[in-house]
């Protein structure tokens, strides 16, 4: 597996034992010497470099920020300040909250069944920074039931609700009769199905068709350089699947966009994610790409051939006991990532370099033993630095993140959780 190395500049973390690992560890330990672990940090140098790299990879197309992959308002604002445009939110209450904080152009990436939030949207907000909220927040739909829920919430032609069509980006190599590759999301797959729902939207005065989204998770969120003994083989198979699916999707997406645009004009066509930025941005029918994970660069995003992001988010846990000479046990650590359970969802101890999780215990609810050569030198009170497997989920574990620039903590900012906002 290719590793995110410390040789790329002041990046902070690697499980590989390199000459740069000890200075990186010393820098992190020194910058946070006044803090008591557990705590989380974001390295602003790496974060900013990652933001610039996402924009470079998009080749001039706008990059919409997937907020679920950040979940820290100050860092969302930082990414937007760096040039990302608009927010792809993960729940409607989150989108309303962000709009209340002054954000415009917030698209909720997943359908909602939240009647209270839909009512608030349908009523157009009403003061406290939520004025004309129906013009600033767009909700995702893929079926008539979603349209009916908006109508039932009281939407009217006086303040129509903006909707975005979610179109399946999966690959059906045998035309629907065989396996379907991709995530199980929208039932809309064909241009005809998308156009039919677009006509239904156009016929309802309380709705405005705003955009179209089709997210190719099996390309954008699946690394083609997986770790492990069979990694090379699996990587080749994944890359083959992705390029065949990518070709089919590009052709179908163009047809879908043409069919839907014939019904009503589209303000945006969104696709992609961190793992597919350049590929998706290259499609003429796509007007913007989405990305978020590439900012924090969690471990699952080490496994791509087409780009290397710098690990920006880490968390530190204190060594609290030494069960034996070769094992050090840290407090906490069981911060597992969502998805199909497997070793790749576990957090990874990265500094000091050369640590491993214990096979029997993994990452524990309250205690996590680490082994490996470097464990021998650890003492009670030392820190072990970890990376999470995914991006924003880390922030559900901490009220705040400490922002590091160079060798110092320059600011401490609340996560969504720290603001009392746990949306999922
Ligand atoms: C709809 C949608 N778009 C884009 C993304 C890409 O986000 P990221 O760049 O954080 O992987 C996701 C992630 O799950 C998503 O669900």
DSSP annotation of 305 reads S
- CB count, 10 Å around CB of 176? 10
| Interval between CA 291 and ligand 1 midpoint (Å) | 6
Cα–Cα separations (whole angstroms), residue 249 to 215, 273, 276, 374: 10, 14, 13, 46
Residue 191: CB within 6 Å of ligand 1? no
**Distance, CA 76 to ligand 1 centroid (Å)?**
15
Please state, in angstroms and rounded to a whole number, the distance separating the CA atoms of residues 363 and 366: 9
Helix (H) or strand (E) holding 396: none
- Per DSSP, the residues of 193-243 read HHHHHHHHHHT-TTEEEEEEEE--HHHHTS-SS--STTHHHHHHHHHHHHH
What whole-number distance in Å separates Cα of residue 110 and Cα of residue 141? 8
- Select from 51, 67, 53, 60 the least CA-distant residue to 281: 60
pLDDT of residue 63: 98
Instruction: Show Cβ contacts of residue 126 under 8 Å, excluding neighbours closer than 6 positions.
Output: none
Q: How far apart are CA 162 and CA 76, in angstroms?
A: 23
* Contact 291 CB / ligand 1 (< 6 Å): yes
Q: Helix, strand, or coil here: 59?
A: coil
pLDDT of residue 230: 82
Closest CA relative to residue 413, chosen from 78, 46, 81, 72: 72
pLDDT tens readout for residues 134-160 = 999 999 999 999 999 999 999 999 999
Interatomic CA distance for residues 404 and 31, integer angstroms: 7
For residue 274 and ligand 1, the question of a CB distance below 6 A is answered with: yes
327-331 and 348-351 strand pairing: unpaired
What tens digit of pLDDT does each residue of 179-227 get?
999 999 999 999 999 999 999 999 999 999 999 999 999 999 999 999 8
Q: How far is CA 226 from CA 13, 50, 229, 307, 320, in A?
A: 19, 21, 9, 14, 33
pTM of the shown model: 0.95
What is the distance in A from the centroid of ligand 1 to the CA of 148? 26
Cis-peptide, bond into residue 352, ω within 30° of zero: yes
Single out the residue of 224, 223, 190, 381 nearest to residue 300, CA to CA: 223
Q: Do the beta carbons of residue 368 and residue 330 sit within 8 Å?
A: yes
**Predicted pLDDT of residue 62:** 98
- Ligand 1: atom nearest CA of 109 is 1
With the most atoms of ligand 1 within 8 angstroms of its CB, the residue from 75, 168, 221, 339 to mutate is 221
Question: In the chain, helix, strand, coil percent, each to 5?
Answer: 35, 20, 40
pLDDT at 127: 60
Q: Whose CA is nearest to atom 15 of ligand 1?
A: 215
Tens-digit pLDDT string for the chain (424 aa):
333 433 233 334 445 667 789 999 999 999 999 999 999 999 999 999 999 999 999 999 999 999 999 999 999 999 999 999 999 999 999 999 999 999 999 999 999 999 999 999 999 866 666 788 999 999 999 999 999 999 999 999 999 999 999 999 999 999 888 999 999 999 999 999 999 999 999 999 999 999 999 999 999 999 999 988 888 999 999 999 999 999 999 999 999 999 999 999 999 999 999 999 999 999 999 999 999 999 999 999 999 999 999 999 999 999 999 999 999 999 999 999 999 999 999 999 999 999 999 999 999 999 999 999 999 999 999 999 999 999 999 999 999 999 999 899 999 999 999 999 999 9
Half-sphere exposure for 82 (CA within 13 Å, toward CB): 23
């Amino acid at each position: 597996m290719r590793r995110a190395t410390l040789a790329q500049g002041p990046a902070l973390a690697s499980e590989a034992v390199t000459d740069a690992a000890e200075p990186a560890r010393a820098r992190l330990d020194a910058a946070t010497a006044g803090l008591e672990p557990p705590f989380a940090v974001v390295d602003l140098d790496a974060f900013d470099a990652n933001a610039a790299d996402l924009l470079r990879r998009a080749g001039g197309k706008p990059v919409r920020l997937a907020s679920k992959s950040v979940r820290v308002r100050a860092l969302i604002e930082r990414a937007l300040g760096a040039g990302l445009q608009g927010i792809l939110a993960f729940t409607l209450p989150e989108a309303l909250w962000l709009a209340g904080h002054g954000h415009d152009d917030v698209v909720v990436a997943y359908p909602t069944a939240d009647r209270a939030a839909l009512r608030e949207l349908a009523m157009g907000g009403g003061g406290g920074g939520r004025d004309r909220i129906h013009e600033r927040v767009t909700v995702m739909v893929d079926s008539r039931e979603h349209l009916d829920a908006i109508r039932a919430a009281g939407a009217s032609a006086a303040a129509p609700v903006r909707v975005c069509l979610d179109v399946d980006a999966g690959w059906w190599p045998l035309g629907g009769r065989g396996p379907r590759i991709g995530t199980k999301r929208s039932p809309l797959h064909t241009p005809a199905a998308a156009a039919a729902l677009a006509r239904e939207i156009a016929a309802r005065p309380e709705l405005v068709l705003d955009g179209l989204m089709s997210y190719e998770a099996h390309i954008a969120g699946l690394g083609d350089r997986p770790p492990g003994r069979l990694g090379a083989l699996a990587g080749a198979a994944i890359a083959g699947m992705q390029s065949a699916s990518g070709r089919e999707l590009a052709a179908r997406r163009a047809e879908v966009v043409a069919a839907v645009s014939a019904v009503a004009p589209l303000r945006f066509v969104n696709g992609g994610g961190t793992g597919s930025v350049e590929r998706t941005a290259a499609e003429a029918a796509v007007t913007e790409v989405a990305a978020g994970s590439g900012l924090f660069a969690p471990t699952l995003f080490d496994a791509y051939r087409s780009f290397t992001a710098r690990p920006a988010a880490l968390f530190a846990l204190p060594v609290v006991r030494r069960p034996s000479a070769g094992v050090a046990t840290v407090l906490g650590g069981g911060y597992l990532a969502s998805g199909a359970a497997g070793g790749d969802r576990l957090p990874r101890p990265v500094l000091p370099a050369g640590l491993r999780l214990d096979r029997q215990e993994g990452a524990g609810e309250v205690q996590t033993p680490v082994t490996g050569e470097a464990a021998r030198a650890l003492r009670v009170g030392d820190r072990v630095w970890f990376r999470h497997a995914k991006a924003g989920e880390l922030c559900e574990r901490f009220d705040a993140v400490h922002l590091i620039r160079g060798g110092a903590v320059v600011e401490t900012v609340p996560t969504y959780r720290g603001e009392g906002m746990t949306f999922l």
